[in-house]
Amino acid sequence: MEEPRLKLTRWIAVKIVTGLIMIWVVASAMFFLLRDLPGNPAEARYAQLIMHGATPQQAQLETAAMFGFVPKQPLIQQYGHYMWQLLHLNLGQSIAETGVPVSHIVFSAFPWTVILCLSGVLASFLIGVVLGVAAALRRMTKAGDGITWFGALINGIPTYIIAILLFYVFTTEWAIFPQGGTVSIEYTPGWNAGYIGSLITHAILPVTAYTLSAVGAWVLTTKSSVISVLGDDFILASELRGIRPLIVARYILRNAMLPLFTILAIALGLMFSGSVFIEDVFNYPGLGQQMLTSLTTDDYPVLSGAFIIIIVAVIAANFLADLAYPLIDPRVRRS
Amino acid sequence: MSVTASLPPEQLQKAVTRSRTVSATRWRILVRTPGRVISLVIVTGFVLMAITGPYLYPKNLPINANDIYAPPSWAHPLGTDFEGTDVLALIVTGARYVLLAAFIAAIVTLVIGTAAGLIAGYYPRSTGRPIMRVTDFILAIPGLPLLMVLATIWSFGSPQQMGLVLGITGWGGIARAVRAQTLSLRERGFVEAARGLGLPGRRIIGTEILPNVAPYVSMNLIMQVTGFIYIEVGLFFLGVVKYSSSNWGVMLNNAVFQADALTNTRALSYLLSPLICILLLTIALVTLANVGDEIFNPRLRKI
Amino acid sequence: MAAPVKPETATGAAVRVRDLTVAFRTQEGPLPAVSHVNLDLVRGQITGLVGESGSGKSTLALALLNAVPAPGQVVEGAVEIDGVGDVLALRRGALRKMRGADIGYVFQASQNSLNPLKRVGKLLLDLGRSHGLRDGRALIQQSKALLADMGLDATRVLSSYQHELSGGMRQRVGIVFALLLNAHVLILDEPTTALDMLSQAQVLEIIRRIHAERHLTTLIISHDMSVIGDLADRMAVMYAGRVVEEGPTASVLACPRHPYTRALLAAMPRITGDTAGARALPGRPPDLMSIPRRGCVFEPRCPLATPACLDDEPPDTYTGDHRFACFVTAGETQ
């Protein structure tokens, strides 16, 4: 019988290793992608450099800097070189913006996506949970049915449609909000009211779009979770013991929130998918838009670099969620 | 004797004469609300459009340089696009791609996902483990970025290719759900009995477990189709995949990014037509998905 | 039928149920789960309530706390409790206070009667706080004493979650929750049903001891006749929402007067004697919809049924403080 603490460390270790393996698999896939793409871009670059008069050595160095491996070298060496670069967080250089490090591009786009998605996830969670609880408590009434219907409806509407409609109605029909971008040029970046204000006005529509597309699922899941808890024995038992209604409400809430937590982890993964549409429509320079641009400009290092970063972020987020779950559910702790 | 004496006669009559066959009940659930009837009509309409659409129009739709972005009129009930082609024609002929690709994708996920789930659930300690690792891996990777990366190697423009790619990347959810059900069914009496009789695993999976999993899976099919419509149209909208002939996603893309329909009102009908079609179809499918819910979960019934 | 006058026990009853009717609102109209029940719980005695599932005994118990869940509701009647008054007439605040403080209810499925996310100690503090007891330390001291009295390791139990306790432990913790606030009436709904035989014996012993130590008025509900026979001073038999027989346990078991009681006893195999002598009662207990609306509710399964049984519900007949409701056996001589 293993000591509990030993089991815990073993469990954490297994999770970390699994996550790292996943990242490694994706990185390797990217490697082979870059290397074996039709119209081999690495070779093409190398040839181009030679044509422009660079020595083979120089050309090799430059290509390596851009792609993470040297063409013409044996596979093993290329692979090793690539992985080594990756470990040093060097994702190569952009083709489209020649010479600019991919990590620079990716990490400057990353925060915008995070701002957008985090605000959206938070807002949709809060609104969705409140509505879901209301729908559960009033489930035999018109109001409850109405909320459920609304949640199911909005859950089915594709994100880009919501984004398009919002954009059209609020920037063209009624020109309340600015048409895209993150901030007006006239404001200087910094902690001043103008800049912050402009940031916010530019973010309202995209975040609203995200929130609307995500809220439906929260409403439905919360409602079913609350209903299932309401039917649990201990709720009736608590009422029979004369427990104060506020305390019983807290029991219900905390127990209903539990399964929502696992949904949250999944939502983190979907975060990057949904944001692409919104960033495209609202011209928001996040990671999604960056991937789109690199796709159209055939900027493979940026594309693969962005993909790797997204994978790392998702796996890290899932890992944290897995770690945190036993903290909130004591029944899971012993395993 | 007193059982029958306990119910008033009118209710007794009602209880006896109302048809209780399975199909009759299912039909009643299907048409219970006006919303469902409308949804049924909508979906049937689009399916008919998908099947017959391309036959109603010539292979290459006529273009008319003089009539670009025309507003709705008798000749063109939904206006025209950037080449002067009738939008209504575009919608009707575009329906086939949308539905075909989604349908193919749904079938592919169904087959792969169910097979993977059944095997992983029935042999959880041997073959199941690597299968679940793969499934978890696929589920962890965000779909859209993955598809974007895949688009660099392979331009999956035709409906069959699109369906295949979406299917191969999207079977994770079904696999996980089927696995969970198989795991619990595995412990049930009838499966133990079959194992005790010495029946081979394959046979048990096929004859005992599959029929019990099938209802859930088939009900899930509708939601899957909805999801795939969402993704494929989205891919065209973003411009990730290029395709020669028109479909709703391409129309959206053109309207938003070429015609700049979001910032001016001239190509409004070109923008709204595919948009409303997608909305109608999605909402109709979601409404019908609830039917499956009610059929297989009698507690939810209100009949 | 004139309301029966109960001799002797009237002054000594801590709980008096009068003409209680609880009905469930359904699409076919209101269906009675408990019908015109009169029952007294004698102060200081253990009363047992026996019946098959669906007989209405749990609904009756919940009605004693005015806690019948929707779509059920009390249609008529009164439940008077010493020191509280008519429970069914209490306002919400007073009702909540009474629960736990005057009546302790030990839940049928004590297996899951606790919030799985909180430790037992914290839940007991919640109980105290809900009833205005702010001194946590004193409450914990009391809980420890009570837990020890149950034969449990107090410190360990207080810091445990529900899933860390065994079935028998959970049942005993349920009793602690019911008695912590020094209620004088204790209701146990199927206290031994989910337990193995050894735990059953333990729990029954604890109930007997606690009842005596605290001078409680106890109601035990069970479908298991042997539990009732072992513990109860008085017993009542329920069928289809009605009390068909009631009296001192010894008297009811030795001379059952209602055909249903007789059938129940005849169906129990004895350790001594021929097990083949046990005879099951044909038919099934009625559900809400199939309860006869006229005449005696037991008539469909009764071996002594006569045509007269179809017309009216039989009134209570008394022999001493043993009553029963049957036309046919009322005419029997001792």
From B146, which residue of chain A is nearest by alpha-carbon distance? A307
Q: What whole-number distance in Å separates Cα of residue A317 and Cα of residue A322?
A: 9
Quick check: B96 pLDDT over 80?
Answer: yes
Exposed/middle/buried for A273, CB within 10 Å: 0-12, 13-18, 19+? buried
For B234, the closest of A158, A291, A303 (CB atoms) is: A158
Q: Is C25 on the interface with A (CB under 8 A)?
A: no
Residue pLDDT, tens place only, C110-141: 678 899 889 999 999 999 999 988 888 999 99
Domain boundaries, given as residue ranges, for chain C: 13-43+52-90+233-331
Q: Is B303 on the interface with C (CB under 8 A)?
A: no
Quick check: A225 pLDDT over 70?
Answer: yes
Quick check: B20 pLDDT over 90?
Answer: no
pLDDT band at B77 (very low <50, low <70, confident <90, very high): confident
Q: What is the pLDDT of residue B3?
A: 42
Range picked from A322-326, B216-220, C245-249 for highest mean pLDDT: C245-249
Q: What is the pLDDT of residue C288?
A: 77
Q: What is the pLDDT of residue A52?
A: 79
Q: What is the pLDDT of residue C9?
A: 38
Q: Which residues contact C129 (CB under 8 A, 6 or more apart)?
A: A244, A247
Q: Is B256 on the interface with A (CB under 8 A)?
A: yes
| % of residues, chain B, pLDDT over 90 | 3
Q: What is the pLDDT of residue C109?
A: 62
| % of residues, chain A, pLDDT over 70 | 92
Residue pLDDT, tens place only, A188-217: 666 777 777 777 888 888 899 999 999 998
pLDDT higher at B221 or C255: C255
Could you tell me which of C88, C96, C87, C186 has the C-alpha nearest to residue A248? C96
Q: Which long-range contacts (CB under 8 A, 24 or more apart) does A288-294 make?
A: A288/A113, A288/B144, A288/B145, A289/A109, A290/A105, A290/A106, A290/A109, A291/B145, A291/B148, A292/B148, A292/B238, A292/B239, A292/B240, A293/A96, A294/A94, A294/A96
Q: Which of B2, B4, B302 best tests the C interface by mutation, with the highest count of C CBs <10 A?
A: B2
Give the minimum alpha-carbon distance from B197 to chain A in angstroms, rounded to a whole number: 35
Q: Which chain B positions have a beta carbon within 8 Å of A158's beta carbon? A: 230, 233-234, 278, 282
pLDDT band at C8 (very low <50, low <70, confident <90, very high): very low
* Chain B (139-158) residues lying within 8 Å, Cβ to Cβ, of chain C: none
Mean pLDDT rounded to a whole number for chain C = 85
For B152, the closest of A37, A159, A273 (CB atoms) is: A37
Quick check: B191 pLDDT over 50?
Answer: yes
Q: What is the pLDDT of residue A185?
A: 61
Cα atoms in the 13 Å half-sphere on the side-chain side of A148: 19
Quick check: C291 pLDDT over 90?
Answer: no
Q: How far is CA C223 from CA A94, B96, C189, C207, in A?
A: 78, 64, 10, 17
Q: What is the pLDDT of residue C125?
A: 93
Q: What is the pLDDT of residue C218?
A: 92
CB B26 within 8 A of CB B295: yes
Q: Which helix (H) or strand (E) holds C17?
A: strand C13-26
- Give the torsion through C-alpha atoms of B237, A127, B283, A160, to 10 deg: -10
> What is the arithmetic mean of pLDDT over A263-278?
81
Q: Which helix (H) or strand (E) holds C188?
A: strand C185-189
Q: Is A119 on the interface with C (CB under 8 A)?
A: no
Q: What is the pLDDT of residue C144?
A: 93
Neighbours, chain A (3 or more CB pairs < 8 A): B, C
Q: What whole-number distance in Å separates Cα of residue C208 and Cα of residue C218?
A: 10
pLDDT band at B7 (very low <50, low <70, confident <90, very high): low
For C131, the closest of A239, A242, A245 (CB atoms) is: A242
How many Cβ pairs closer than 8 A exist between chain A and B?
Answer: 112
pLDDT band at C3 (very low <50, low <70, confident <90, very high): very low
> What is the arithmetic mean of pLDDT over A250-276?
83
pLDDT band at C1 (very low <50, low <70, confident <90, very high): very low
First to last CA, chain B: 27
Residue pLDDT, tens place only, A105-137: 888 888 888 888 889 999 999 999 999 999 988
Architecture in CATH of B29-59+72-300? Orthogonal Bundle (1.10)
Domain boundaries, given as residue ranges, for chain B: 29-59+72-300
Q: What is the pLDDT of residue A180?
A: 66
Quick check: B175 pLDDT over 80?
Answer: yes
Q: How far is CA C30 from the centre of its chain?
A: 24
What are the beta bridge partners of residue C86?
A: C80
Q: How far is CA A258 from CA A121, A130, C31, C277, in A?
A: 17, 15, 38, 54
| Tokens (6 digits) for C295 | 């005449």
Q: What is the pLDDT of residue B1?
A: 38
> What is the arithmetic mean of pLDDT over C217-239?
91
* Chain B (10-69) residues lying within 8 Å, Cβ to Cβ, of chain C: 11
Q: Is B5 on the interface with C (CB under 8 A)?
A: yes
Q: Which chain A positions have a beta carbon within 8 Å of C107's beta carbon? A: 233, 236-237, 240
Q: What whole-number distance in Å separates Cα of residue C120 and Cα of residue A147?
A: 37
Tell me if A161 and B142 make a contact (CB, 8 A cut-off): no
Which DSSP state fits C16? E
Q: How many helices (H) and strands (E) does chain A have?
A: 13, 0
Residue pLDDT, tens place only, A171-194: 776 666 766 666 666 666 667 777
> What is the arithmetic mean of pLDDT over A286-305?
86
- Angle between helix B210-238 and helix B159-169 axes, rounded to 10 deg: 120
Q: Which chain A positions have a beta carbon within 8 Å of B265's beta carbon? A: 172
Q: What is the pLDDT of residue B263?
A: 63
From A329, which residue of chain C is nearest by alpha-carbon distance? C117
CATH code of the domain made up of C13-43+52-90+233-331: 3.40.50.300
pLDDT higher at A323 or C76: C76
For A243, the closest of C105, C107, C126 (CB atoms) is: C126
pLDDT band at A257 (very low <50, low <70, confident <90, very high): confident
Tell me if B265 and A172 make a contact (CB, 8 A cut-off): yes
Q: Which of A33, A110, A149, A164 best tests the B interface by mutation, with the highest count of B CBs <10 A?
A: A164
For B151, the closest of A280, A295, A318 (CB atoms) is: A295
> What is the arithmetic mean of pLDDT over B103-128?
88
Tell me if B11 and C290 make a contact (CB, 8 A cut-off): no
Q: What whole-number distance in Å separates Cα of residue A41 and Cα of residue A49?
A: 12
**Structure ipTM:** 0.84
Name which of B134-148, B209-223, C77-91, C244-258 the model is least confident about: B209-223
CB C213 within 8 A of CB C159: no
Quick check: B227 pLDDT over 90?
Answer: no
Q: CA B175, B181, B184, B189 torsion: positive or negative?
A: negative
> What is the arithmetic mean of pLDDT over C20-24?
90
Secondary structure percentages of chain C, helix, strand, coil, to 5 = 40, 25, 35
> What is the arithmetic mean of pLDDT over B222-238?
87
| % of residues, chain A, pLDDT over 90 | 11
Q: In what order do the strands lie in the sheet with C317-319?
A: C103-106, C185-189, C217-222, C46-50, C234-239, C242-248, C322-324, C317-319
Neighbours, chain C (3 or more CB pairs < 8 A): A, B
From B35, which residue of chain A is nearest by alpha-carbon distance? A149
Q: Which helix (H) or strand (E) holds C222?
A: strand C217-222
Exposed/middle/buried for C122, CB within 10 Å: 0-12, 13-18, 19+? middle
Tell me if C28 and B6 make a contact (CB, 8 A cut-off): no
CB A299 within 8 A of CB A96: yes
For A243, the closest of C67, C105, C127 (CB atoms) is: C127
Give the minimum alpha-carbon distance from A24 to chain B in angstroms, rounded to a whole number: 12
- Angle between helix A300-328 and helix A56-67 axes, rounded to 10 deg: 30
Q: Which chain A positions have a beta carbon within 8 Å of B290's beta carbon? A: 152
For A164, the closest of B142, B226, B256 (CB atoms) is: B256
* Chain C (156-185) residues lying within 8 Å, Cβ to Cβ, of chain A: 161, 163, 174, 177-178
From C300, which residue of chain B is nearest by alpha-carbon distance? B2
How many Cβ pairs closer than 8 A exist between chain B and C?
Answer: 21
Q: What is the pLDDT of residue B297?
A: 65
pLDDT band at C312 (very low <50, low <70, confident <90, very high): confident
Q: Which chain B positions have a beta carbon within 8 Å of A157's beta carbon? A: 279, 282-283
Tell me if B283 and A153 make a contact (CB, 8 A cut-off): yes
Q: Kindly give the residue spans of alpha helices, DSSP state H, lying in A52-94.
A: 56-67, 75-87
Mean pLDDT rounded to a whole number for chain A = 82
How many Cβ pairs closer than 8 A exist between chain A and C?
Answer: 72
> What is the arithmetic mean of pLDDT over A53-63?
77
Q: What whole-number distance in Å separates Cα of residue A94 and Cα of residue A299?
A: 6
Q: What is the pLDDT of residue A218?
A: 92
Q: Which of A240, A327, A331, A335 best tests the C interface by mutation, with the highest count of C CBs <10 A?
A: A240
Q: Which of B238, B242, B269 best tests the A interface by mutation, with the highest count of A CBs <10 A?
A: B238
Q: Is B276 on the interface with A (CB under 8 A)?
A: no
Neighbours, chain B (3 or more CB pairs < 8 A): A, C
Q: Which of C113, C131, C170, C221 best tests the A interface by mutation, with the highest count of A CBs <10 A?
A: C113
Name which of A62-71, B220-229, C184-193, C270-279 the model is least confident about: C270-279
Q: Is B286 on the interface with A (CB under 8 A)?
A: yes
Q: What is the pLDDT of residue B5?
A: 46
Tell me if C294 and B1 make a contact (CB, 8 A cut-off): no
Q: What whole-number distance in Å separates Cα of residue A117 and Cα of residue A202?
A: 14
Q: What whole-number distance in Å separates Cα of residue A285 and Cα of residue A289?
A: 6
Tell me if C293 and B3 make a contact (CB, 8 A cut-off): no
Q: What whole-number distance in Å separates Cα of residue C49 and Cα of residue C235?
A: 6
Range picked from B55-59, B213-217, C97-101 for highest mean pLDDT: C97-101
Residue pLDDT, tens place only, C25-47: 877 778 888 988 999 898 899 99
Give the minimum alpha-carbon distance from C222 to chain B in angstroms, rounded to a whole number: 27
Give the minimum alpha-carbon distance from C17 to chain B in angstroms, rounded to a whole number: 27
pLDDT higher at A68 or C208: C208
Q: Which helix (H) or strand (E) holds C217?
A: strand C217-222
